[in-house]
Amino acid sequence: MRLELRKAHVTGLEWGSPTRMENGVLYVDKEGLIAALSDDDRIEKWDADLARPGESVRIIPVKDVVEPRVKLEGGESYFPSVVGPNDTAGEGATFVLDGAAVVTVGPIMGFQEGFIDMSGPAAKFSPFAELFNVVLIAQPVKDLEKHQYEEAIRVAGLKAAVWLADCCKNAKIDAVEVFEKGTVAEELKKYPDLPPVVHLCMCITQGLLHDTYVYGADVKTCLPTLLHPNEVLDGAMVSGNCVSACDKTTTWHHLHDPVVSELYAQHGKTVNFLGMIPTQESVVLAGKERASSFNARLCHELGAKGVIITEEGYGNPDSDLCLNVNKCEALGMSTVVIADEASGTDGASQGLADATPQMTAFVSCGNVNEMLEVPAMKKVIGFIESIAHVSGGAAESLRPDGSMYVELQSIIGSTCETGFNKSGSLWV
């Protein structure tokens, strides 16, 4: 597979018609954007707003973050089987509005959304504070079922991202990234002396608005499978969950999976990168045992000597994590875990809800329970009262002056367990 990501760098964001890129500035036709989403009768009213790096703006509660992209060659539209047709992702050329994002916001339906601050102490914990964000605010029709509302707003975010990119696809290209790799058999033959490595990507798949999708299929109903790295970097995986904000793997994170990109960079040099296995985190023991057995066996059948395991969420997924480590190690494969910790506000408690002596290489993405005071912002996009129901927030978190006292886990992407974050933990 050969994939080109053709990037136009976004350095400014304004309202303007028509939607276009001009001298690095993304101009968005607000009426056109809302009209592109108006075909879903589950949403009573759409609105849109803009948020730029450094502004005194708080966005809450955030559902998903999506990078604007569209296929130029090798497929139609984007996000196959969700927005676009069921094409295989990862081939041809894709246009990217680099530095921009679509952020979806709406009245909270679950207890695990979060917020983005574009400036202040919370901004340093989220990559989205550095992006030029087009924010969609959805007001659902009365008495709409929660899962219907969540589906509507998440699909709308994907559609909006494709619409923006499609409007700008003739813009000047500032950079091109090329990703090219053969089949597993070809790469094993090509690099016989390099250790074969697999990325095992654990995904929240627990139902009740906690789901992840691969080519439009709900991963909780699927057995583990192998994806070419290009598929991951080209929209095959999308987020559909309300997991705690800190370690939610948003759609943007899937498109920028740092484990995939770093292993790709080392492919043919220090490792032989075989691919990624997206796998479920079941809510029942039998499901955890079944998935972990399939994961280990698939890695082993591929010839892997090393497995890098990333988690999503914490709590009962820690059992899936330990099972994956145990079964891979039992088959002779070395494992490295990337995950965050829930160690209490003082950092003194056990970081995971489960443990195993086989887990000897652990990269910590930080303590989700760390407390943080964030000042009031001049502007709030969304529903500030949602902080009362956010993981890491409470009714008393919001103060009369608009400032908040919250746990780190209330900030979107602050301890993302793919490693795309700026926080970690020092072990002593």
pLDDT tens, N- to C-terminus, the chain (428 residues): 999 999 999 999 999 999 999 999 999 999 999 999 999 999 999 999 999 999 999 999 999 999 999 999 998 889 999 998 999 999 999 999 999 999 999 876 655 689 999 999 999 999 999 999 999 998 889 888 888 888 888 899 999 999 999 999 999 999 999 999 999 999 999 999 999 999 999 998 876 666 899 999 999 889 999 999 999 999 999 998 877 899 899 999 999 999 999 999 999 999 999 999 999 999 999 999 999 999 999 999 999 999 999 999 898 899 999 999 999 999 999 999 999 999 999 988 999 999 999 999 999 999 999 999 999 999 999 999 999 988 899 999 999 999 999 999 999 999 999 999 876 666 54
Taking the C-alpha atoms of residue 356 and residue 32, their distance in angstroms, rounded to an integer, is 54
242 is a catalytic site residue = yes
With left for phi above 0 and alpha for psi between -120 and 50, is residue 65 left, alpha or beta?
beta
CA distance 205 to 182: 30
Q: Is residue 419 part of a domain?
A: no
Residue 277 is assigned to a structural domain of this protein: yes
Residue 79 lies in a domain: yes
Tell me if 16 sits within 8 A of 338, measured CB to CB.
Answer: no
262 found inside a domain:
yes
pLDDT of residue 312: 93
Catalytic residue among 167, 168, 203, 242: 242
Query: Does the residue 425 lie in any domain?
Result: no
Asked if residue 420 belongs to a domain, the reply is no
Look at the chain and report how many structural domains it folds into: 1
Containing structural domain, residue 247: 2-410
Residue 46: inside a domain: yes
* CA distance linking residue 131 with residue 240, whole number of Å: 21
* Distance between CA atoms of residues 96 and 70, nearest Å: 7
Give the model's pLDDT for residue 402.
96
- What are the distances in angstroms from CA 44 to CA 111, 119, 335, 340? 22, 31, 48, 38
From residue 272, alpha-carbon distances to 152, 243, 325, 341 in Å are 40, 32, 20, 30
Amino acid 209: pLDDT: 62
Q: What is the per-residue pLDDT for 428? A: 44
Q: Is residue 384 part of a domain?
A: yes
With beta carbons less than 8 A apart as the criterion, state whether 305 and 273 touch. Answer: no
Strand partners, 405: 373
